[in-house]
Amino acid sequence: MSNPKTAVLESIYQALQALNAERGAQEQIVIGPETCLFGEQSELDSLALVSVIVDLETAVSDKFGRLISLTDDKAMSREPVPFTDVTALQGYILELVA
């Protein structure tokens, strides 16, 4: 496996690419480190965010050989929540798999 930071980022990008594959041409989101995932600036509705989270939990659990949960009380009580953007989510996942 590549280094953990790269592996996590690839997993996030793959989950977002899968989401884009289900969306129309006018609904595509730009994927990058600053892609907003949650909040007023996000282009994701709650259902899309849940889909990305489920895909990520599966992909990261498979890559690292351990189950993770991205929506437990620990995640939801953080300020800011780890879903603000791709970089924040990557950092949170790296904490979970460390």
* Architecture in CATH of 4-22+31-97: Orthogonal Bundle (1.10)
Contact 6, 95 (CB under 8 A): no
pLDDT greater than 90 at residue 57: yes
The mean per-residue pLDDT over the stretch 55-76 comes to: 90
DSSP per-residue codes, 15-63:
HHHHHHHHS-GGGPPP-STT-B-SSTT-S--HHHHHHHHHHHHHHHHHH
What are 89's two structure tokens?
């989510």
- Looking at residue 95, its pLDDT comes to 93
Q: pTM, whole model, 2 decimals?
A: 0.91
- Looking at residue 50, its pLDDT comes to 93
Contact 61, 97 (CB under 8 A): no
pLDDT, tens digit, 9 for 90 and up, residues 10-56: 999 999 999 999 999 999 999 999 999 998 899 999 999 999 999 99
**Which of 86, 94, 97, 93 minimizes the C-alpha distance to 32?**
86
Please report, for the chain, the start and end positions of each structural domain, with discontinuous segments joined by +: 4-22+31-97
